[in-house]
Structure 1
Amino acid sequence: MKTASATAIGAAALRAAHQLLDGTPKLLQDEVILKLLEPAVIQHIQHNPAIYQMPEAARMRTHVVLRSRYTEDVLQQAFDKGIRQYIILGAGFDTFAYRQPVWAKDLHIFEIDHPDSQAQKRNRLAQTGISLPPNLSFVPVDFETSSIKNVLQQTLFDLNAPVFIAWLGVLTYLTMEAIDATLSFIGALATGTELVLTFSQQKNADYFSNLSQRAADLGEPWITHFTPEALEQKLRQHGFTTVSFFTPEQAAKYFAGRTDGLQPPRRASIVHAVV
């Protein structure tokens, strides 16, 4: 078995660092990630806090934690409107299913990810004794070679009912062909289907270049970028009728009164779209 995505583990480590190093209240309360990650990763955070408090690391940590918090807030709103299916595309080490609130027990959660990453996660879940909730289904799929629709048809997923979909931290690593195929599938789902996804805007800032180079060094280069205007156009072309960007001004409410130095993002990188 190959190892899981290095960038997925890196994102999970940033969520863990938030639990260990940042103040309260947490932007995202996630004690599960402290068990799910290998002990060596947790020890690295604990023994090297200065690395994670550097401005570049703090910005990335804020982005990773905020995208999950925002997604889960919007998911609850969708649940209140009647949605009962939740797909996590490129789930990585996402922990929502294992710390889900009481209201989410009526959701059917589908974690979709590359077979290698999913296998490593399931091994860690078993090793740490984290129980699998009855409303969770694992769906292994390679975004570049497999049809999500064909794979989901082999599960309990209801193609005729609306679904809430989270697609976080994945778009940047995919070809435009793979992105179009996935958006085409989502856009053809039942009316009322909702999607939250993250994207990167290519900038010349040094920290952006550094992060991009690190991802490439790990064999997972950043290959696709969008301006907000181009992404909105693409979403509408694929059948989405409402497209809303999560602005820095909206994000600021999550940071009111914080004293740990975490700051809202400076540009939009999260979008919420409805079919």
Structure 2
Amino acid sequence: MSEKDNGGKRKESRDGNERATRRFCHGGSRTSVAKKIAAPTLSNPWEDRLKLHADVEGLPARRRSVLRAANATALLHWSGVMDMLEPIVTPRTRVRRWEDRDRAAFHRLNSDETVMRFFALRRSRAESDAFMDDLNHRLDRDGYSFLALEAGDAKQAVGVLGMALLDPVMPCFPGVEIGWRLLPEHWGKGYATEAAAACLDRAFAEPGALGEVVSFCVENNQASEAVMLRLGFHRGEDFDHPKVPAATHPQLVRHRLYRLARGDWTRQAYGAPG
């Protein structure tokens, strides 16, 4: 059972692999959410991830060796034993793996001009279906991925939200990123902040917690940047996104990077030492 100390804050209690009362930031306030975090089910997460994320065969030999070494170091520090295989639930949101019934919504999340305003790529239905299957594969492989977001009274996906290992071509590699994208009719309701905070709670939970999580957006994507600031991220270095074609989408090249260290999250969310 949890009990209140003299400061009125809840203490955590653990029973086996269950984690009791947690807090998450939502619009500047703190809300207690009782949830259980299952122990990772990956048989050998360190070995599996080091092998799978060293797959850089398409690069020159010298670059391959450098990236394999960087990947190994990064994974030992960043990957921890985070597990998103079990849904992440808050009072208004639920982050879970993709299901066949989500395919139409996922296609819209990858093709709608309003949703994809800050992205250069538009996916066809076939491309979207393949991408959704790949995200579930990454979840099974890594323990985390960009997943389906349910929110409010909707019992279906209204967005994509989750975490992933950074692509080796990114200037902020090595690391783990968190990101989100919602259908327009669900904007401005705080769903992204609420669900992302719960994901960060799990990412920074003991044991084997991540050391840092990053997030980034196009420099004039004020809505996404506002979510990062509400979550407590700190402004990092601006950079030109290497996967955005400057010739066709010059307005989308420049990005803002934000960083959140585990110690900063535990201090702001729990008032605890990092």
In the superposition, the TM-score normalised over structure 1's length comes to 0.31
Bigger share in strand: 2
In the superposition, the TM-score normalised over structure 2's length comes to 0.32
Bigger share in helix: 1
